[in-house]
A and B are shown apart, each in its own frame.
Chain A
Amino acid sequence: EVQLVESGGGLVKPGGSLRLSCAASGFAFSSYTMNWVRQGPGEGLEWVSSITSGSSYTYYADSLKGRFITSRDNAKNSLYLQMNNLRVEDTAIYYCARDLFAARGVFYFDYWGQGALVTVSS
């Protein structure tokens, strides 16, 4: 069974940092592009970042560049999102999501974690 479990969310002050983790199981993690998607309170979905299977390429939403860093450790079946210089508008549930097909990124998301809540407030 495919499972994605996020951790590391919490309350942080504006300008602070937080690191989210996503632990994957039940599939060949190292073969899949992985993604982060967020959802603000009562809002829609927003793509945050993607990382290819071997970490050769990482991609970010333009609004986040330079503040967020996505990485992965295939030996640990884990995905990470380092969030720096956080702003109030970054408050959201952050989901990790698996790409639909192994070996090639198609950027459709078939499995999602339950999400990690990040609250940025003074």
Chain B
Amino acid sequence: IQMTQSPSSLSASVGDTVTITCRASQGINNYLAWYQQKPGKVPKLLIYAASTLQSGVPSRFSGSGSGTDFTLTISGLQPEDFATYYCQQANSFPALTFGGGTKVEIK
């Protein structure tokens, strides 16, 4: 299953609401996770099962979707949110796949 993220990069300001899209090449139910990775750091799990917030993750992060289309929304972008975000499907096992990433930069 191919995971296509859009956009590949975006520029936004602190306080903005940002939406990142992930599309699966075939239906994956809700078996989708979102990760955040900052430069030189390891990925951090933000959301799993499409919309469940991982413990300790701020509530400004939210996820939605099912089937083939998913979104990650950051409501009120904070300086520490500038990073690259990846989606990952866990439906088609054992062929887990990640999206290509979306880099969120400061405008």
Chain A: residues with CB nearer than 8 A to chain B? 37, 44-47, 50, 59-62, 95, 100, 106-110, 112-115
Contact = CB atoms under 8 A, between A and B. Distances in A.
Contacts of A109: 33, 35, 43, 45
A44 B43 CA distance: 11
Given A45-B86, A45-B88, A110-B54, A50 B48 contact: no
Contacts, number: 52
B99 interface: yes
Given A107-B90, A110-B54, A47 B97 contact: yes
A47 B96 contact: yes
B48 A100 contact: yes
Given A100-B48, A108-B88, A44 B42 contact: no
Q: Is the interface of B mostly helix, strand, loop or mixed?
A: loop
Residue from A60, A109, A112 whose CB has the most chain B CB atoms within 10 Å: A109
Given A44-B98, A100-B48, A108-B33, 13 more contacts: A37-B43, A44-B99, A47-B88, A47-B96, A59-B93, A61-B95, A62-B95, A100-B45, A106-B90, A107-B96, A108-B48, A112-B44, A113-B42
Contact of B42 (A47, A59, A107, A112): A112
Contacts of B58: none
B100 interface: yes
B63 interface: no
A92 to B, nearest CB: 13
6 contacts: A44-B101, A45-B86, A59-B93, A108-B49, A110-B45, A112-B43
B74 to A, nearest CB: 19
A59 B99 CA distance: 20
A114 B37 CA distance: 12
B86 A44 contact: yes
Residue from B90, B93, B94, B97 whose CB has the most chain A CB atoms within 10 Å: B94
Given A112-B42, A112-B43, A46 B95 contact: no
